[in-house]
Amino acid sequence: MKHSLVVATNNRGKLEELRHLLADMDVEVLSIQDVSKRPIQVVEDGDTFEANAIKKAREVAAATMMLTLADDSGLEVDALGGAPGVRSARFAGERATDAENNAALLAALDELTADAAGTRTGDFNARFRCVLALVDPFVRDGEPLVAEGTCSGKITRTPRGSGGFGYDPLFLVDGTDKTMAELSEDEKNRVSHRARAIDGLRRMLEQTIAARDALTRAVVG
C-alpha cells in the first residue's frame, strides 16, 4: 500500500521534480491542492534554508495531519556573499517571476564588474543548495528529519536551455558544459541539489513509514 506524502510547496516545478525523484519509493506524492480545499500559506521568514523548510513542513503537517515533506532551496553566489540565498524565489520582489529573478541576478553581477573589466564568467562560483524537512504528526511527536544537498557550478551571463525552472538557465553545472536547464531529466536527477538531498532523506523516509505502519498495527490490533 502506498503512503500519501504531501509536499509543502506551491512551486509546480519542485513538485514534479520531487515526484520523479521519489518514483521508486512506496509513496504517493501529493500537492497541497490535492489534500486541502483552502490555500495553506506559510510565511518563509527564516534566516536559513533549514529554518524555512522545517517551518513549512510543520505548518502543513499540522494543517493536514499528514506525512509532509518541505523543500527550501536556492542559489548561492560567492561574489554576492551567498545571495540570493533564502531570497532566491523573491530576489527581484515578493511576486517576482523566474525571468525577473534571473534579470536581477545578472544586474547584481553587472554592478560588481562595472569597475572590473575583464571579469570572466568562470569567476562567478556558485552552488544550488536544497534542504528537505520531513514531518509526521504521529511519529516522533512531529519532530522534523532534515537532509541537505548541494550542486556546485558557475554563473553564465547568457541563459541557455529550456528545461528546469528558477535560475537553471544561468547555472553551469560543474563537470559538464551544460547549464542545469540544458540537462535531460535523468541527468538532472543524478546531479541536482534536490536529488542529493533526496538521497540523504531516503532512509529517514523509509524508517518513518515503518514507524507509521507499526503504529497502525498497534492501534488496529
Q: Which residues are catalytic?
A: 72
Q: Residue 119 to residues 3, 109, 122, 130: CA-CA distances in angstroms?
A: 51, 10, 8, 28
Residue with cell string 560567492? 78
- Separation of alpha carbons 32 and 91, rounded Å: 24
Q: How many helices (H) and strands (E) are present in the chain, helices listed first?
A: 6, 6
Beta-sheet pairing, 3-7 with 68-77: parallel
- Separation of alpha carbons 65 and 56, rounded Å: 13
**Residue 69 near residue 133 (C-beta atoms within 8 A):** yes
Closest of 42, 59, 67 to residue 140, by C-alpha: 67
